[in-house]
């Protein structure tokens, strides 16, 4: 009976060791869950970016307004007959 108790205790301790430290332990599962959550958040950000870029592609393909807006904002282009005014803020003095 004593040997059986010792054997069961050893088996119990071995199983506890595997549960807390070994492969597939609670700590490892927790780390994998955290990693999975961060990857899911990154995937969602990428999906949002893809939706935004897809909408932008549709805008660029569907009409000239989006192309004109880009040309004006990013390239500083203007139409024929328009006058371009640039307002420059004065730089603050060194003592201010």
Q: Evaluate whether residue 17 is within a structural domain.
A: yes
For residues 2-25, b (16+ Cβ closer than 10 Å) or e, as one string? Answer: eeeeeeeeeeeeeeeeeeeeeeee
Give, rounded to a whole angstrom, the gap between the first and last alpha carbons of the chain. Answer: 90
| Whole-number pLDDT of residue 96 | 57
| Whole-number pLDDT of residue 48 | 97
Q: Evaluate whether residue 91 is within a structural domain.
A: no
pLDDT exceeding 90 applies to what percent of the chain?
31
Residue 44: partners with Cβ closer than 8 Å, 6 or more residues away: none
User: How many domains does the chain divide into?
Assistant: 1
- Span 27-64, pLDDT tens digits: 888 889 999 999 999 999 999 999 999 988 888 888 88
| Whole-number pLDDT of residue 50 | 97
Q: Evaluate whether residue 56 is within a structural domain.
A: yes
pLDDT at 79 over 90: no
Q: Evaluate whether residue 87 is within a structural domain.
A: no
Its pTM stands at 0.50
Q: Evaluate whether residue 80 is within a structural domain.
A: no
d(CA 71, CA 76): 6
Q: Evaluate whether residue 39 is within a structural domain.
A: yes
Q: Evaluate whether residue 35 is within a structural domain.
A: yes
Q: What value does the mean pLDDT of the chain take?
A: 87
Q: Evaluate whether residue 85 is within a structural domain.
A: no
Segments forming the whole domain that contains residue 9: 2-75
């Amino acid at each position: 009976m004593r040997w059986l108790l010792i054997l069961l205790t050893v088996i119990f301790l071995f199983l506890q060791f595997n549960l807390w430290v070994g492969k597939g332990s609670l700590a490892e599962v927790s780390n994998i869950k955290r990693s999975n959550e961060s990857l899911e958040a990154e995937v969602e950000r990428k999906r949002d970016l893809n939706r935004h870029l897809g909408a932008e592609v549709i805008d660029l393909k569907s009409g000239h307004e989006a192309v004109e807006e880009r040309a004006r904002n990013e390239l500083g282009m203007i139409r024929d007959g328009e006058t371009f005014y640039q307002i420059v803020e004065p730089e603050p003095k060194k003592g201010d």
